[in-house]
Amino acid sequence: MDHAAGHAPGIPFRVCLAAFLSGAATTVGIALFDLDNTLIAGDSDYLWGCFLVEQGIVDGANYERENRRFYDLYKVGKLDIYEFLDFQLQPLAANDLDTLHRWRTQYIEEKIIPILLPKAHDLLNRHREQDDTLAIITATNRFITEPIAGLYGIDHLLATEPELVDGRYSGGITGIPCFQDGKVQQLSGWLQEHRQTLEDSWFYSDSHNDLPLLNKVVNPVAVDPDEILEGHAGEHGWPVISLR
């Protein structure tokens, strides 16, 4: 991706949201959104673990320690996604769907609704006005993220898929994790299925873990980025916006 015109390489190309929205493209395309720390002001995976600890559903001290360890590894780009999923999907496998759905409803009310972002709605609505196809693409599993996508009115969700066997979660997944290069692979299949292309594409993310997909789209946008992504955006002249 070329540097923005008149922009010095290495310096983040920061744009206020109002100016960014007013200058968005007018052709119909596809707008992809990371979820955690992009459309919401927190990490839904990590917060689900916090909720389980607070409710006494899991072994508090041990689970909290591991939950934090995995989150810290994610932030520095060293997460073993399969090791994390083995840990994170255990409570799904240990409980029936009715119980899980009841917990999830409470979790959404207590942990997610308070961190929804009004500016995220503004950004989504701008793309809707352009008749773009909107999709969330997230490493967090579908059980957690599907109701969050619904809160934003987004029908298309690409996520890590927990495996269901005879009406219960098995503790495994189907397909590949929707993480790092896995996002690119999942999106490729989704594009074929929906007869879409990346010819006029946008992807919004906060994380350097999403660089494989950010490098694939026509319009990569860093949203409240981590330090590594902010540096990469500066080197490549990508716009940096805030939804906070």
For 72-125, what is each residue's pLDDT tens digit? Answer: 999 999 999 999 999 999 999 999 999 999 999 999 999 999 999 999 999 999
The helix (run of H) or strand (run of E) holding residue 222 is strand 219-223
DSSP character at residue 112: I
Residue at 228 is within a domain: yes
> Could you give the number of structural domains in the chain?
1
Q: What is the DSSP letter of 242?
A: -
Query: pTM for this one?
Result: 0.91
- Which of 1-15, 80-94, 108-122, 194-208 comes out lowest in average pLDDT? 1-15
**Above 70 in pLDDT, residue 10?**
no
Catalytic-labelled residue, pool 2, 34, 86, 166: 34
Which of 115, 123, 137, 127 has its CA nearest to residue 37?
115
pLDDT for position 2:
45
Q: Tell me, what CATH number does 225's domain have?
A: 3.40.50.1000
Among the listed residues 2, 36, 122, 155, the single catalytic one is 36
In a domain? residue 181: yes
Q: Is residue 184 part of a domain?
A: yes
Per-residue pLDDT, 191 = 97
Averaged pLDDT for residues 201-222 = 98
Q: Is residue 3 part of a domain?
A: no
Residue 210 is among the residues annotated as catalytic for this protein: no
Q: Is residue 197 part of a domain?
A: yes
Asked, for residue 140, whether it belongs to a domain, the answer is yes
Residue 150 has pLDDT above 50, yes or no: yes
Residue 99 domain flag: no
Angle at 122 between CA 43 and CA 105, to 5 degrees: 40
Query: Which range marks the domain in which residue 230 is found?
Result: 13-42+116-241
98 in a structural domain? no
End-to-end CA distance of the chain: 26
User: How is residue 17 written in tokens?
Assistant: 């949201």
Instruction: Give yes or no: 36 in active site.
Output: yes
Q: What is the pLDDT of residues 19-75, one digit of tens each?
A: 777 765 556 799 999 999 999 999 999 999 999 999 999 998 999 999 999 999 999
